[in-house]
Amino acid sequence: MNAERGSAKHGPRVDDEQKHETQGVVRGSGPAHTEEWADPQGIVDPEEEATPRRYPPGHEPGTPEGITAVEVERRSAIAKWLSDAHWPSDRDELMAHAEAKMAPDAIVESLRDLPDGEFHNVGEVARALGLGAERRRW
């Protein structure tokens, strides 16, 4: 009897990523949350929760001017997987880095759309992919 393990809903890269994410729980080195009552929680002051937060001008939460929420999410995802890349890098080096880090297929596909040339940071990669750039008012 030959039983195949894995999932038919997604590819082997996602299977490997999920396996990596659960490795700590399986080996017993991470919290399993089996006894949630044992996890310590900090005490929250009710007055602190009721007081609205004040943010300095230009640092309010939300989507910055000049970039959509979807673009913010894409840019954030790309930055997550390229944060430890060696800069400057070209398209092939960035794709190889993302694949070595087992980035999701959508990230690798986005990087495949990059034009030829050298990139010095994630912002340049985002601009080359046509993602908006936030504009600050001074």
- Whether 96 maps to a domain, the answer reads yes
Q: In which residue are the tokens 């900090």 written? A: 42
What φ, ψ does residue 32 adopt, rounded to 5°? Answer: -100, -10
pTM: 0.51
Q: For residues 43-63, b (16+ Cβ closer than 10 Å) or e, as one string?
A: eeeeeeeeeeeeeeeeeeeee
- Whether 100 maps to a domain, the answer reads yes
Q: What does each C-alpha distance from 14 to 1, 23, 31, 101 come to in angstroms? A: 26, 14, 22, 12
- Whether 103 maps to a domain, the answer reads yes
- Whether 4 maps to a domain, the answer reads no
Domain that holds residue 108: 69-129
For 3-49, write each residue's pLDDT tens digit. 555 556 667 788 777 777 776 666 665 555 555 555 556 666 666 55
- How many domains does one find in the chain? 1
- Whether 42 maps to a domain, the answer reads no
- Whether 49 maps to a domain, the answer reads no
- Whether 75 maps to a domain, the answer reads yes
Instruction: Give alpha helix (H) positions in 28-89.
Output: 46-50, 69-82
For 39-91, write each residue's pLDDT tens digit. 556 666 666 555 666 767 666 666 666 667 777 888 889 999 998 999 999 99
- Whether 110 maps to a domain, the answer reads yes
